[in-house]
Chain A
């Protein structure tokens, strides 16, 4: 069979192993090199992935593993996230015990994500997810000296295991009722499968597992605690890679395995989305801990993305993918700053960021850009993404009251979010009390990572065309035609909205 399809996965794994082995020879003083090496590797692979090296479409492992526009789209972002996070580790390497392992684990998690992006079978999906999750158990609790980190780890462990238990049971039921676990084969029989309650229960349980990954209400409980407790860089990777992987699988299952059933469930997804975004926005208001704030904010953002999925249309999927792209840059920029500051101050309370404007312009810029983009304000990436999402929802608001309500709820959510996002900005530039104004030195790698993400945020915000085109292809490769058909049955959206 054609191994070139797996080239990325293989190479990243090798990179991880290399880092582990290299640690045995390299002296502790030069540990930084490992980080650089890992980052460079990721960078090279990234250029390779989005450049010529992108493997042609095809399937492997008897259809379990598929390479298509969607998988390539996501893989690019996974590698990017890995690259940025690894760059960020470099300047913090002294604070991380077992630095090499940390880098390696990040790479292994990346491998899981890469597989997730290509998973075309419930089995592979499960394995990929577990690879990600189990790695993250370790990454979250990596800071063993801090009991917060451990607590977060254990919470993530229990909830994660619970979720995967449900998912496995779900997969069992699916297998039982469908006789197969391959997405394409299931898609072929979804008409009659749609009538079998066992299959539906199984599918629901599987989606529960994915809902846990993307932290959708009511499976979001873990997110704030874990985001707050985990080491900042882990949180960064969790908020970007892991979440994106969740959505990658969600979209695969929803749109390429069971598009018609998804179309029937669009209202359910919509309601979940609205609840999620409102829950996230509301709970974020009184937060003091910035990491916890980001946790709630990531819940809220999952809500917006679910709205896009609920639209069950090409424009909806395009919007979701575009938004995710911008979101990854945005969050990375934010966590880069949070990581630097909180590891310095040993706390991530808002007050720690007071006067950052004077202390380190570049950090302040990074956090500001991130927060403003999250708030969905032009000319940042967040604005365009949100606009596309609202537009996708609006497509059906004309015909379905549910969507109109969702649209307005989303507006309210955005307004609420402004409230706490601007609190962060205010404390950065116009603190209530006078903070210490000792300037903060920022390492080269961190600078690089910051600049990378900030440029990304602005680029996507101002010239989103290339991203949108990519996202559109990816979404189109997702067998959206049947999705549209299925949807047209369910929600009878104006056809013009789809192309």
Chain B
């Protein structure tokens, strides 16, 4: 399956759903499900066909689009995005599965979901930064609409308003950054490969870099929920329907990081060095501050939202480290967290549907009545506090290793946040939600039936596979990471004096 076919599948599906009259609800669901399933299989095949150990792009496809303005349609995967593509398509499939019983305007819902999927895939696949942005916007808009229409909770309108405002502004600021890149580079193109070659010849002036990087960091950082631009995230996910939360928290959120990896790191190296420490500080804001906020949350979705923000902190730390280990770690986390976030929000959604509340204080002992969902949720929570065997662990470990040389103190803080703060709120959630005696009113329905388990099992399987065998990812990532990393692979062993000095 070629990349363009992979990209077109969801849109084709959306068109198909559009053509089927509104009252054939089952057909809509079926089409959506099949489409995403095909997409997922295609992504798996691409992932399998992808050759590890090659740094450059693979399966490239190119077409002129607006030569007058220097935009082209350019698809391709390297180590940085191949894993994300796979993750995105898996999550999309899961999201379609969990939205099986959408009652209100299912047709529109599935169309939006498919457009969202296509947009996300397009953002990850496009090597022309214009199209990257284009597809990202294309995927964001359905998010807002889905939240506004199918969202839950009384303050969903405000949450929708907030997330729309935040993400659009963030995206636009990021876009300004890209536009500046376009003009400052003088390459008269936004094609990443061309730019990379061009800027290798004549890099951006320090002035331009210091102009572009802040815009990129603030803009795309906002899309990721970089502290202090994060407050849209938790309430947003609390208000979003499961599928939307899964897609956004899992997939779309990563686009921001992806752009930072692709653009900020290789194109603004000097500025990146200059901004590394502030960025690391903000990363601590995510890891510690959001972690502490999560400690206080008594709403399941708010808890998950804040914890996913905390995870993003590790990504920013790796980004700040900017060496091949850190970058690889960032990508590992992006993939892992995508799967994990989707899993958690999917399960939380199911749980909320069954029990009718997401208030942890009203629930308890659910493991008894919902063995599958409960068990899966336990696994999700454990994965969330960095337990080995799940994909998050190697990612966070790698980031810590990568950042150790540059930011020992921040690594110590991050380890504290990940191992302890994370452990505390995750285990507290298990304790209050699943363990202990059954609370009254917790139960109105049953566990997930065999079919309902499929999405969760798929995500869990992926999490475990990459957790047990992270090499399958890292061997693909590392060579490409080497290309965009600033600090090339650390020469070991470093001088002990330096380390000793750095550590204190």
Q: Chain A residues in contact with chain B, CB under 8 A? A: 315, 318, 372, 377-379, 383, 387-388, 390-391, 393-398, 404, 407-408, 411-412, 414-415, 418-419, 422, 426, 429-430, 463-465, 468-469, 472, 493-494, 496-497
Closest to B211 in A: A398
Q: Is the CB of A418 within 8 A of B168?
A: yes
Which residues of A are found within 8 Å of B175, using beta-carbon distances? 387, 390, 411
Closest to B130 in A: A387
Q: Is the CB of A391 within 8 A of B141?
A: no
Closest 6 CB pairs of A and B: A394-B179, A411-B172, A496-B186, A395-B183, A468-B68, A391-B179
Task: Tell me, rounded to whole Å, the shortest Cβ–Cβ distance linking B167 to chain A.
Answer: 10
Q: Is the CB of B211 within 8 A of A397?
A: yes
A418 to B140, CA, bound (A): 13
Q: Is the CB of B169 within 8 A of A412?
A: yes
What are 6 A-B pairs at a CB distance below 8 A?
Answer: A377-B138, A379-B138, A397-B180, A414-B168, A419-B161, A430-B149
Known: A379-B138, A415-B169. A494 touches B183 (CB 8 A): yes
Which residues of B are found within 8 Å of A318, using beta-carbon distances? 68-69
Q: Is the CB of B188 within 8 A of A388?
A: no
Closest to A313 in B: B183
Task: Tell me, rounded to whole Å, the shortest Cβ–Cβ distance linking A362 to chain B.
Answer: 14
Which residues of B are found within 8 Å of A391, using beta-carbon distances? 69, 179, 182-183
A361 to B134, CA, bound (A): 26
A244 to B149, CA, bound (A): 37
A494 to B164, CA, bound (A): 34
Which residues of B are found within 8 Å of A377, using beta-carbon distances? 137-138, 141
| Binary per-residue interface labels of chain B (475-493) against chain A in the complex, 1 for a CB within 8 Å, 0 otherwise | 0000000000000000000
A497 to B184, CA, bound (A): 9
Which residues of B are found within 8 Å of A397, using beta-carbon distances? 176, 179-180, 183, 211
Q: Is the CB of A411 within 8 A of B69?
A: no
Closest to A473 in B: B68
Q: Is the CB of A465 within 8 A of B180?
A: no
A379 to B161, CA, bound (A): 22
Interface residues of B in 426-463 (CB under 8 A from A): none
What range describes how many residues of B lie at the interface?
35 or more
**Which label, helix, strand, loop or mixed, suits the secondary structure of the A interface?**
helix
Q: Judge if B148 is at the interface, Cβ distance under 8 Å.
A: yes
Which residues of B are found within 8 Å of A463, using beta-carbon distances? 65
Which residues of B are found within 8 Å of A496, using beta-carbon distances? 183, 186-188
Q: Looking at the complex, which one of A390, A429, A465, A472 makes contact with B176 (CB distance below 8 Å)?
A: A390
Which residues of B are found within 8 Å of A472, using beta-carbon distances? 68
Q: Looking at the complex, which one of A396, A408, A494 makes contact with B173 (CB distance below 8 Å)?
A: A408
A263 to B188, CA, bound (A): 23
- Seed contacts A397-B211, A465-B67, A465-B68; 14 additional CB < 8 Å A-B pairs: A379-B134, A383-B137, A387-B179, A390-B172, A391-B69, A398-B184, A411-B173, A422-B164, A426-B148, A463-B65, A468-B66, A494-B183, A496-B183, A497-B188
Closest to A416 in B: B165
Q: Is the CB of A408 within 8 A of B130?
A: no
Q: Is the CB of B169 within 8 A of A411?
A: yes
Q: Is the CB of A407 within 8 A of B168?
A: no
Which residues of A are found within 8 Å of B165, using beta-carbon distances? 415, 418-419
Which residues of A are found within 8 Å of B187, using beta-carbon distances? 496
Q: Is the CB of A430 within 8 A of B211?
A: no
Q: Judge if B207 is at the interface, Cβ distance under 8 Å.
A: yes
Which residues of B are found within 8 Å of A372, using beta-carbon distances? 141
Which residues of A are found within 8 Å of B172, using beta-carbon distances? 390, 411, 414-415
Tell me which of B64, B137, B144 has the highest count of chain A C-beta atoms within 10 A of its own C-beta.
Answer: B137
Which residues of B are found within 8 Å of A464, using beta-carbon distances? 66
| Binary per-residue interface labels of chain B (64-96) against chain A in the complex, 1 for a CB within 8 Å, 0 otherwise | 111111000000000000000000000000000
Task: Tell me, rounded to whole Å, the shortest Cβ–Cβ distance linking A324 to chain B.
Answer: 16
Q: Judge if B352 is at the interface, Cβ distance under 8 Å.
A: no
Tell me which of B169, B172, B187 has the highest count of chain A C-beta atoms within 10 A of its own C-beta.
Answer: B172
Which residues of B are found within 8 Å of A418, using beta-carbon distances? 164-165, 168
Q: Judge if B208 is at the interface, Cβ distance under 8 Å.
A: yes
Q: Is the CB of A394 within 8 A of B137?
A: no
Which residues of A are found within 8 Å of B207, using beta-carbon distances? 398
Which residues of A are found within 8 Å of B138, using beta-carbon distances? 377-379
Which residues of A are found within 8 Å of B68, using beta-carbon distances? 318, 465, 468-469, 472
Q: Is the CB of A407 within 8 A of B176?
A: yes
Known: A465-B68, A468-B66. A390 touches B148 (CB 8 A): no
Task: Tell me, rounded to whole Å, the shortest Cβ–Cβ distance linking A26 to chain B.
Answer: 42
Which residues of A are found within 8 Å of B176, using beta-carbon distances? 390, 394, 397, 407-408, 411
Which residues of A are found within 8 Å of B64, using beta-carbon distances? 465
Task: Tell me, rounded to whole Å, the shortest Cβ–Cβ distance linking B212 to chain A.
Answer: 8
Tell me which of B144, B148, B175, B179 has the highest count of chain A C-beta atoms within 10 A of its own C-beta.
Answer: B179
Task: Tell me, rounded to whole Å, the shortest Cβ–Cβ distance linking B171 to chain A.
Answer: 9
A385 to B208, CA, bound (A): 25
A393 to B182, CA, bound (A): 12
Task: Tell me, rounded to whole Å, the shortest Cβ–Cβ distance linking B303 to chain A.
Answer: 29
Q: Is the CB of B66 within 8 A of A430?
A: no
Which residues of A are found within 8 Å of B66, using beta-carbon distances? 464-465, 468
A414 to B144, CA, bound (A): 16
A398 to B141, CA, bound (A): 30
Known: A394-B183, A414-B172. A468 touches B211 (CB 8 A): no
Q: Looking at the complex, which one of B65, B134, B208 makes contact with A383 (CB distance below 8 Å)?
A: B134
A394 to B183, CA, bound (A): 7
Which residues of B are found within 8 Å of A396, using beta-carbon distances? 183
Q: Looking at the complex, which one of B134, B182, B211 makes contact with A378 (CB distance below 8 Å)?
A: B134
Task: Tell me, rounded to whole Å, the shortest Cβ–Cβ distance linking B236 to chain A.
Answer: 16
Q: Is the CB of A394 within 8 A of B180?
A: yes
Which residues of A are found within 8 Å of B180, using beta-carbon distances? 394, 397-398
A387 to B175, CA, bound (A): 8
| Binary per-residue interface labels of chain B (281-319) against chain A in the complex, 1 for a CB within 8 Å, 0 otherwise | 000000000000000000000000000000000000000
Closest to A495 in B: B186
Q: Is the CB of B69 within 8 A of A394?
A: no
Interface residues of B in 101-154 (CB under 8 A from A): 130, 134-135, 137-138, 141, 144, 148-149
Task: Tell me, rounded to whole Å, the shortest Cβ–Cβ distance linking A314 to chain B.
Answer: 11
Closest to B119 in A: A378
Closest to B173 in A: A411
Which residues of B are found within 8 Å of A465, using beta-carbon distances? 64-68
A142 to B173, CA, bound (A): 45
A396 to B161, CA, bound (A): 32
Task: Tell me, rounded to whole Å, the shortest Cβ–Cβ distance linking A458 to chain B.
Answer: 13
A55 to B477, CA, bound (A): 58
Task: Tell me, rounded to whole Å, the shortest Cβ–Cβ distance linking A226 to chain B.
Answer: 30
A393 to B175, CA, bound (A): 12
A262 to B187, CA, bound (A): 27
Closest to B175 in A: A390
Closest to B187 in A: A496
Which residues of A are found within 8 Å of B141, using beta-carbon distances? 372, 377
Which residues of B are found within 8 Å of A430, using beta-carbon distances? 148-149
Task: Tell me, rounded to whole Å, the shortest Cβ–Cβ distance linking B468 to chain A.
Answer: 40
Closest to A395 in B: B183
Which residues of A are found within 8 Å of B130, using beta-carbon distances? 387
Task: Tell me, rounded to whole Å, the shortest Cβ–Cβ distance linking B347 to chain A.
Answer: 28
A464 to B134, CA, bound (A): 14
Interface residues of B in 45-69 (CB under 8 A from A): 64-69
Closest to B171 in A: A411
Q: Looking at the complex, which one of A378, A429, A468 makes contact with B69 (CB distance below 8 Å)?
A: A468
Which residues of A are found within 8 Å of B148, using beta-carbon distances? 426, 430
Tell me which of A395, A415, A465 has the highest count of chain B C-beta atoms within 10 A of its own C-beta.
Answer: A415
Which residues of B are found within 8 Å of A408, using beta-carbon distances? 173, 176
Q: Is the CB of B69 within 8 A of A388?
A: yes
Which residues of B are found within 8 Å of A469, using beta-carbon distances? 68
Q: Is the CB of A378 within 8 A of B137?
A: yes
Which residues of B are found within 8 Å of A383, using beta-carbon distances? 134, 137
| Binary per-residue interface labels of chain B (205-230) against chain A in the complex, 1 for a CB within 8 Å, 0 otherwise | 00110010000000000000000000
Known: A378-B134, A468-B68, A469-B68. A415 touches B182 (CB 8 A): no
Known: A408-B173, A412-B169, A468-B68. A494 touches B184 (CB 8 A): yes
